[in-house]
Amino acid sequence: MDTTLEWDGKAAEAYRLTIPTQVSGLNGLKDLATQMRGSLVNLGNSIESFWVGITVAVVVAIISIASAVALVTTVVGIPLALVILVAALPSVASLIGSFITGLLAHVNTCQAEQSALQEKLRMVGETWSQGRIGQMGDASVQDGDGSDWKPR
């Protein structure tokens, strides 16, 4: 069956009138997706920073412990080894605690952002413009209601 690629008349006009509202809805959806992407990228960056910080803290702890062990081999180095351990290990624990607290704070912020975006996405289905779909589906083939368009 042959069909025409271009069409006109009231059916074409009814279809044409739905396009701007559909484009508007799609642009709104694109904005939500962009916001969601930004939020998730920020979360990913925070997680990466967390693990880099934890790695640095563990390396500092290992170096401190290795230095203390090396100093303990001599009787004279024992007091200095204790000073190194007393200074380094609480600092490392504090760093790790700070990294955990910072990550949890950012995760909570991202979770709130994602919840707000999820609510907006849920509302898209309720607010998305349906345009003039009823008019497009109401051909005057036999119903006689005056919508005035019919297939050729």
User: Is 139 contained in some domain?
Assistant: no
5 inside domain: no
Contacts 24+ apart (CB under 8 A), 31-34: 32/117, 32/120, 32/121, 32/124
**Cα–Cα distance, 38 to 109 (Å, whole number):** 13
144 within a domain of the structure (yes/no): no
Over the chain, what is the mean pLDDT? Answer: 83
Per the domain annotation, does 1 fall within a domain? no
State the amino acid at position 87 in one-letter form: A
Report pLDDT for 4. Answer: 62
* 79 domain-assigned: yes
Residue 92 lies in a domain: yes
The total of structural domains in the chain comes to: 1
Return phi, psi of residue 149, to 5°: -135, 150
* Residue 140 within a domain: no
Give residue 63's pLDDT.
93
Residues of the chain with pLDDT under 70: 1-5, 125, 129-152
Domain range enclosing 50: 10-127
Q: What is the pTM of this model?
A: 0.65
Indicate whether 76 belongs to any domain.
yes
